[in-house]
Chain A
């Protein structure tokens, strides 16, 4: 059996505040294959954002093992990570196209080719015709689409999303869920998607990792056996209900 693209083994993170230890993550053990869309779901304080930041190389950890990439699946942490946050965090003074270009400028990639790619990605996320607008001229959902394009522009192998639709209204959120599945299918990226929405987690994920808080630990890790492409209707199926109930039960909400 070949090695997984991402391998986490008993990852543990402890925060120390005023002499008190606070366990942010423990027993996080799961593998992610290339091309998967993994939902990290759990209540606030379960350490899902911390785990994402460990994967991004922004945080250290206090135990266990984290490996991204392998012999056959090379991974360069400096340029193979794309990030999407809860807020779009577009630069107000840059046009949408130039916002999308930002990572390629920082990485020093050839600008002509990158610009072409940025235009293609804006088309993919449904922002064709808005390239020369400023962020304030776009709605929140559209801004978040632009930030997804920005996360893809340098062609990273792994895209980390931290509750990207958490600040959107419910209707826009559903639409963005469908859009994300479409983008994921087109861009063929490995995506790790942090959310506290259980429905969202099951709907989007090829795999769901459940984290619980108090004490913070990984509680479950299962594959979602609903084939892609998915439509909003799958949420009414019995199978979908089984998955969501399974998560609700783990979070002690049944």
Chain B
């Protein structure tokens, strides 16, 4: 009973801190007589949603596709490549250093190139989100697959267990906490990647919209866009967290 009570208290406190931030924001703007161009009130920010010209839904959809698409690509390919690395050690020794070098490239610097190669649109921005979130997943997954207790390996070996059994029963489930810890980092990076892509060149998306309203000094709409981007990122992170709760036993989770 007390367990669920403290749980409830934790949620209540978390909601409270957010509400206090919004309230502080409101009072700061209203009583500080801050001009709307510098900082809109929460109410003005919400009000920006009513401007039909901004085509919020379309822009939300575009940015969401880029973030979720880029993240999904990174998760699928990241995990796949790490699996290949664990199966073929020579491949890891061959390709991992190359990946590390490639990861040194600031992904943002690739933006103009992406535009040259893929033109404006959702696709290059998805690729940007992918490029920036791919590496952490490879790295953590590869590490997780490597971490098998030597004695556990002996145990499987005395039973003449196959490599496949070792992989399915011990290696992969053991790597799950690492995979999720990589995906949590990747979720946050994917958002940054997509928005940077939109800043550099696009004709849709919340990042694109921000550049448009910057010209007209509609700060409220910029605030709204930032909040929406944050919400999309929060949704993705929440999904990853939920999946982790479902798949990974409490004790094994990497905080």
- Whether B176 contacts A93 by the Cβ 8 Å rule is yes
- The answer to whether residues A91 and B173 also contact, given A85-B151, A106-B165, A135-B251 and a CB cut-off of 8 A, is yes
**What residues on A are CB-neighbors of B158 within 8 Å?**
56-58, 77, 81, 83
In the complex, chain A residues 44-63 whose Cβ is within 8 Å of any chain B Cβ? 53, 56-58
- Whether B160 contacts A78 by the Cβ 8 Å rule is yes
Cβ of B174 under 8 Å from chain A: yes
Min CB distance A138 to B, Å, is 11
In the complex, chain B residues 70-88 whose Cβ is within 8 Å of any chain A Cβ? none
A132–B106 CA distance with the chains assembled, in angstroms: 49
A58–B165 CA distance with the chains assembled, in angstroms: 18
Tally of contact residues, A, Cβ under 8 A: 24
16 A-B pairs within 8 Å (CB atoms) are namely: A58-B154, A78-B159, A79-B159, A83-B154, A83-B155, A83-B158, A85-B154, A85-B155, A87-B149, A91-B169, A91-B170, A93-B173, A93-B252, A103-B155, A106-B165, A106-B169
Residues on A facing B (Cβ under 8 Å): 53, 56-58, 77-79, 81, 83, 85, 87, 89, 91-93, 102-103, 105-107, 134-136, 154
Q: Sorted from nearest, which 10 A-B pairs have the closest CB atoms?
A: A136-B251, A106-B161, A92-B252, A78-B160, A85-B151, A106-B159, A93-B249, A81-B158, A93-B173, A56-B158
Beyond A57-B158, A106-B160, A134-B251, list 8 extra A-B contacts (CB 8 Å). Answer: A56-B154, A78-B160, A87-B149, A92-B249, A105-B169, A106-B165, A106-B169, A134-B249
Residues on B facing A (Cβ under 8 Å): 149, 151-152, 154-161, 165, 169-170, 173-174, 176, 248-252
